[in-house]
Structure 1
Amino acid sequence: MSAAPLVMGVDLGGTKIRAALGDADGTLLAVEEARTAEAGASLDRQLVHLRARLAAQVGVEPERLLATAVGGAGVATSEGFTLAPNLANLDGEDVCATLERALGHPVVLENDVNVAALGELSAGQAGDNFAFVALGTGIGMGLVIGGVLIRGARGAAGEIGYLPLGADPLDPDNHRRGALEEMVAGETIGQRYEDLTGVPATSREVFARAARGGEAASAVLDDYARWVAAGLGAIVAVVDPSAIVLGGGIGARPELLPRVRQWLARMGHAQVPVTVSTLGEQAPLHGAVHLAFGAVAPLYLAR
């Protein structure tokens, strides 16, 4: 393989880590996956191991990688992640410094949904003014305006789970993950179904039952879509994006899309196209590779 520059992009979740080796064109040359380190385990050793596995796939030395970008479910700072309940084992750690020592190259941290939005931006199909909304364990948004990712004053732009919609925003119990997220977190689909029917079910099972024509499951998904649309309506009112892209384990479900569109139209926002990400679960990896190259672009261009 030639001496073309290579980087590592990482999608750090609460239960698994996905990592990709990418080139300057944004092509993912190799992808690896592992379970996220348990509390007390070492994230830096895991990423060193994943880097070695990625490098072996394409036949290069691990040291050829120039930088790493990590997307995690929280607000990224120069040191680590805050407001990250699914990454609680990293609380108080200077994640960035630890990873840079272990990997021997620059490391960039960013919110995982922001990273996915960068992936959509690099793919070029959503344009330069769009909102990427991820629906899965929770809800989050990556906002791109004029081709630039909007991070906000404290890096928390896009934390739309805290919109005062759905659950009571004055109840302190709803402050941990936000009033809207209390209504659209993935687990609420199964809980709604059990409340309605008395039968426990996962979100996957609810989708399957709705596909078979189950009225209760269909009603649950319709109610879920209504609250998603309420959040999207707030985005439209404030930002006026040219498009909204849905992603994440639940947001990417094609059967959810028409329900969201219908509710958004009923709320007076039929003019805004809503689509499902064509990159799917690869969006965060594409975005992380894009971000990692941004960290070393001046160094690379000077060579």
Structure 2
Amino acid sequence: MTGPKAEAVFGIDLGGTKLHTALADRDGAILAERVEPTDRRGGLDVIAQIDAALKHLAEEAGIAPQSVRLGVMGCPGVLQPQTGSVAVAPNIPGFDRMDVLRELEACLRLPMTVENDVNLAAEGELWRGRRSANFVFVAHGTGIGMGIVANGALVRGHKGAAGEIAYLPLGGDPFDPKGFRLGTLETAIGSAAIVHRFTAHGGRADATVRNIFDALRDGDAAADLALDETAAILAQAVAAVASVLDPEVVITGGSIGARRELIARVRVHLARCMPMPPPVEISALGDRAAVVGALGVALRRLGEQA
């Protein structure tokens, strides 16, 4: 699809470490896609980075920027309708102190929607993934969160914070102030926690999570212990969720949640937690679930305007 009359939608998956953007045409075909590190300065610098990504994608797709009709951005946390700020998003500095939606629309000159990133991953699964009517999507990477689909519809909760499982009182003392900002569960099994656990077991202090998975493949004992402990805590979280929601399937994604070595261990521990554990499956969309969901929601809203 090229030329000045082309129409497209813009999808954004903004994470604490990675910005994933894409353009799609009215049929949902991807026209251009881009992944880059998130600007660590946060705030308006991230908004400017998103604007630059849009221009780059439009050029790559061979369409004029004004041909992009609207956009949807997923990011950690919960949009506050009264202020436009995003609460519970500690990995994106400044988003809790600014009107994110207004700044996005002013910079991009586009109608925009801001949504929780894991909710969009669940939307992506509904649109292009498993398409089950009852499932949860657990995204595990820098942090951890969950999107809930019940009877074919996304569940948001009273404040839009349904699925913020980072605050489950698992993996540590929920009254410890050190876990208050990120949540007890996220503090216990987020990427920084995995590195800390690996180091505590004798692994090298400068390791990344990717290094730890590589070390596991090489038979490293510290990596084995660190990832097994992480899997055991994650299994407890899945057991808690399954006991309350009874999903048909638990879908995992994110840079850590998509690792088969970890999810295989989660299944083993989960079978020890409860008599009828739900199946735990890695998303077929991989780390693209949220950006695919953003495009799907954008296309749905574009269709509503027609």
- Select 1:72's aligned residue among 50, 55, 75: 75
- Alpha-carbon distance between aligned partners in 1 of 2:211 and 2:129, rounded to the nearest angstrom: 34
Letter in 2 for 1:193: F
- Alpha-carbon distance between aligned partners in 2 of 1:75 and 1:45, rounded to the nearest angstrom: 21
Match of 1:82 in 2: 87
Residue deviations 1:30-72, cap 9 Å, x none?
1123443425644443333222211112211111111111111
254-263 vs 19-28, which deviates more? 19-28
Match of 2:9 in 1: 7
- Alpha-carbon distance between aligned partners in 2 of 1:102 and 1:192, rounded to the nearest angstrom: 41
Contact 2:14 2:38 in 1 (8 A): yes
Residue deviations 1:113-137, cap 9 Å, x none?
1111111111141512111101111
78-87 vs 197-206, which deviates more? 197-206
- Alpha-carbon distance between aligned partners in 1 of 2:202 and 2:106, rounded to the nearest angstrom: 53
- The structure-2 alpha-carbon separation of the partners of 1:179 and 1:257, relative to structure 1 and needing over 3 Å to count, comes to same
Match of 1:59 in 2: 62
SS in 1 for 2:132: coil
- Select 1:134's aligned residue among 139, 154, 167: 139
Letter in 1 for 2:74: G
Letter in 1 for 2:239: G
Match of 1:283 in 2: 289
212-221 vs 157-166, which deviates more? 212-221
- Alpha-carbon distance between aligned partners in 1 of 2:274 and 2:301, rounded to the nearest angstrom: 41
Residue deviations 1:280-299, cap 9 Å, x none?
12111101111222333321
- Alpha-carbon distance between aligned partners in 1 of 2:154 and 2:96, rounded to the nearest angstrom: 25
Match of 2:170 in 1: 165
4-13 vs 45-54, which deviates more? 45-54
- Select 2:185's aligned residue among 165, 169, 180: 180
Whether 1:99 aligns to 2:104 is: yes
Residue deviations 1:80-106, cap 9 Å, x none?
311111112233211111222233331
- Alpha-carbon distance between aligned partners in 2 of 1:288 and 1:106, rounded to the nearest angstrom: 14
- Alpha-carbon distance between aligned partners in 1 of 2:290 and 2:259, rounded to the nearest angstrom: 17
Q: How well do the aligned residues superpose, as a CA RMSD in angstroms?
A: 1.9
287-296 vs 127-136, which deviates more? 287-296
Contact 1:116 1:287 in 2 (8 A): yes
Letter in 2 for 1:86: N
SS in 2 for 1:297: helix
Match of 1:29 in 2: 31
What stretches of structure 1 of length at least 5 have no aligned partner?
none
- Alpha-carbon distance between aligned partners in 2 of 1:142 and 1:288, rounded to the nearest angstrom: 14
- Count matched residues: 300
Letter in 2 for 1:114: N
Between the two proteins, what is the percent identity of the paired residues? 42
For residues 156-235 of structure 1, the aligned pairs below 5 Å read 156-197=161-202, 199-200=204-205, 201-235=207-241
- Alpha-carbon distance between aligned partners in 1 of 2:131 and 2:301, rounded to the nearest angstrom: 24
Letter in 1 for 2:48: R
What stretches of structure 2 of length at least 5 have no aligned partner?
none
- Select 1:260's aligned residue among 256, 266, 275: 266
- The structure-2 alpha-carbon separation of the partners of 1:48 and 1:207, relative to structure 1 and needing over 3 Å to count, comes to closer
- Alpha-carbon distance between aligned partners in 2 of 1:145 and 1:26, rounded to the nearest angstrom: 24
Letter in 2 for 1:192: R
SS in 1 for 2:261: coil
Letter in 1 for 2:279: P
- Alpha-carbon distance between aligned partners in 2 of 1:294 and 1:269, rounded to the nearest angstrom: 40
Letter in 2 for 1:67: L
Letter in 2 for 1:139: I
- The structure-2 alpha-carbon separation of the partners of 1:95 and 1:41, relative to structure 1 and needing over 3 Å to count, comes to closer
SS in 1 for 2:247: coil
Letter in 2 for 1:293: L
SS in 1 for 2:219: coil
- The structure-2 alpha-carbon separation of the partners of 1:164 and 1:39, relative to structure 1 and needing over 3 Å to count, comes to closer
